[in-house]
Amino acid sequence: MSKRHRLHQLLQEPRIWKAGQGAGPHQTVSTGFPDLDRALSGGWPTGVLTELLVDLCGIGELQLLLPALKAFHGRPIGSKVNPPLGAKKWIIWVAPPYMPYAPALVRAGVDISRLIVAHCDRQNDVLWAMEQALRSGACAAALAWSEGSDPRALRRLQLAVEKGLCWGVLLRPARFKKQRSPAALRIHLLAVSLSEISMDIFKNYKSRPQKIVVGIDGKLQSPARPFGEWAGKQKSRFDADF
């Protein structure tokens, strides 16, 4: 009896994080991929920070995010407390590795009249800009490509996302996988083939960690060949030397 009591007391500790008990009634944005929706219990979460760890930029991570970005076409995001009537919110991309190509984005269905692109010279500007965007309440989604690892800045990002109740995605090199991060959802992306990406969801605030493979539209007519034999040769290098 006392053991159960002690266990119960231990579980009430705020320092213990329990997976499976959601942080709150957060809205989710459907990812557009049914497998991923099921794995994430609904879709991309709003109000918590999502972290995507990729080795190389361009293996298809933007394709993963596209269906959700399309969903922001004129759609307000907010809690039930004060939904803005018809107020269209903005999407901001902070420090993208290359220039977003407007014709392709238009063709994909993204509303680029509400898109802001911000380039940063310094790394701490990247996290700062994302924090400002999330906190301002004018953005429905913020994507940032960062190589920084300042834990305080990450913690502030998490608080900003909670305050702004928007969709925040931070893309970082895969070498930060081992580092602790306050993001509630952390996924490591690897290219399995030209049209498939393996997602290792190793921290999930809603359910247990899992690994899935998602098929994205490669838009290339070549046969989908798995790179099993090449997977070991992948260097964990984030778009570095060109």
Partner 1 sequence: MGGVKQQSLLPLSVVANAHFDSQAITPELLPSNDRGREIPGRHSRNHLWISLYFKYLPIESISTSRSKPEAVLVEQKHQARILVCNQVAERLGIRPGLSVKAALAMVPELAIAHRDIRLETQILRRLAAWATRFTPAVSIDSSNTLLLDVRASLKFFGGLPKLWKLLSSDLDRWGYRVTVACAPTALASIWLARTGEHDDRSVPQYSRRRLAALPIASLGWPENIERMLREMGVDTLGECIRLPRDGLARRIGPEKLRELDQGFGIQPESREFYRPPRRFHAQLELPAETSNCQLLLESLGRLLGSLKIFLLANQRAVQVLWVHLHHYDKPSTLLRIGLLQPVMDTDYLLDLAHIRFTDSHFSAPVVSMALQTDPVTIHTVSGQDLFDCSTEHGAGIVELLEQLQVRLGSQAVYGIRPVAEYRPELAWKAVQLCDEDARIASGKMPVRSAYDRAGYRPLWILAEPRVLPMLAGRPAFQGKLNLEDDPERIETGWWDGRDIRRDYYRAWNHHGLRLWVFRDCRESRWYLHGLFG
Distances from the Cα of 5 to the Cαs of 8, 11, 82, 121, 234, in angstroms?
5, 10, 41, 54, 50
Contact 106, 81 (CB under 8 A): no
Nearer to partner 1, 90 or 205 (CB): 90
Q: How far is the CB of 190 from partner 1 (least distance, A)?
A: 8
Closest to 70 measured CA to CA, from 105, 24, 43: 105
Nearer to partner 1, 22 or 137 (CB): 137
Distances from the Cα of 14 to the Cαs of 10, 11, 18, 89, 172, in angstroms?
9, 8, 10, 34, 28
Q: How far is the CB of 84 from partner 1 (least distance, A)?
A: 6
Q: How far is the CB of 79 from partner 1 (least distance, A)?
A: 15
How far is 200 from 186, CA to CA, in rounded Å? 8
Q: How far is the CB of 151 from partner 1 (least distance, A)?
A: 18
Nearer to partner 1, 195 or 204 (CB): 195
Nearer to partner 1, 25 or 103 (CB): 103
Residues that bind partner 1 (CB under 8 A): 55-63, 66, 74, 84-90, 96-109, 111-122, 124-125, 128-129, 132-133, 136-139, 191-194, 216, 218-222, 227, 230, 233-234, 242
Residue 77: how many other CB atoms lie within 10 Å: 21
